[in-house]
Amino acid sequence: MSQDPRNSENETHEASDDDLAATFVRESEVVEEALEDGKKVRRKGIYLLPNLFTTSALFSGFFAVVAAINGDFTAASIAIFIAMVLDGLDGRVARLTNTQSAFGAEYDSLSDMLSFGVAPGLVAFTWILQDVGKTGWVVAFLYVACAALRLARFNVQLGSVDKKWFIGLPSPSAAAVVAASVWTFHSFDADAFGFKLLMLFVVGAAGILMVSNIRYYSFKDVDLKGPVPFVMLLAIVLGFVVISIEPSVMLLLLFGTYVASGPVLAVLRKLRKTP
């Protein structure tokens, strides 16, 4: 019995499709070198758990952009804070589960660029800075550009600076003070010209502080695994209670204090060195 040539042709197409799929999977696989027990090994694939947190932070940043375009500035500001929490968790989860990777670090940096660079600048611009004209979008772009420069500098300085301090304002804190300002002033319908000037100052100052050489305490030397006094837990609970009373205002005061702490401590250090 002769073989149907159409069957042979179908089998050939199926084999080609399988080869193509296998080639695509092989070419798209992430391969990186890592040190294990002092030896360099080639590792395929990515760690799922920490990258899930990074993806969630990326989604929150994108949601903030969409919410701002739709005019929901409260939701946009809250989404930036959610991205900030998730961004803090992905690194800690990676360290606790020993799942750090170069891919994760690069992915986290790209996520930070959207969540703490583009999103806050766009939220501030669409809410009030666009009313200032060209100055408004220039200041918004200045913030976004400074966030990109801050992240690039952080990546190249990683491992060469004291972990106790950040050089320049961290981008999540800069995003937090911008988002808290939008959330607070928008809640009180503050659209007077004075508030427009204030937002210009807040957004511009946050951007410049990110690329400055002013040191900020990193809190990385805080031991989360060791025992702490009972009063510490009580203080944390009271902190949550106080923030819940008026979240936008309390978060603005909290992060505003942290942002101001860098220049204040820098001035105090300079005064101590002055004869």
Question: Domain coordinates of the chain in residue numbers?
Answer: 41-273
The whole-number average pLDDT for the span 204-224 is 86
> 150 is written with which tokens?
């801050």
Q: Single out the residue of 134, 136, 109 nearest to residue 121, CA to CA.
A: 136
pLDDT at residue 45 above 90?
no
The whole-number average pLDDT for the span 95-105 is 83
CB of 199 closer than 8 Å to CB of 135: no
| pLDDT, tens only, 244-262 | 888 999 999 999 999 999 9
Give me the sign of the Cα torsion angle 95, 259, 112, 35: negative
Q: Could you give the CA distance from residue 235 to residue 272 in angstroms, rounded to a whole number?
A: 32
Q: Is the pTM value of this prediction over 0.85?
A: no
Q: What are phi and psi of 160, to 5 degrees?
A: -115, 0
pLDDT at residue 3 above 60?
no
Residues facing residue 34 across a β-bridge: 41
pLDDT value of position 148: 96
pLDDT tier at 14 (50, 70, 90 boundaries)? low
Fold of 41-273: Four Helix Bundle (Hemerythrin (Met), subunit A) (1.20.120)
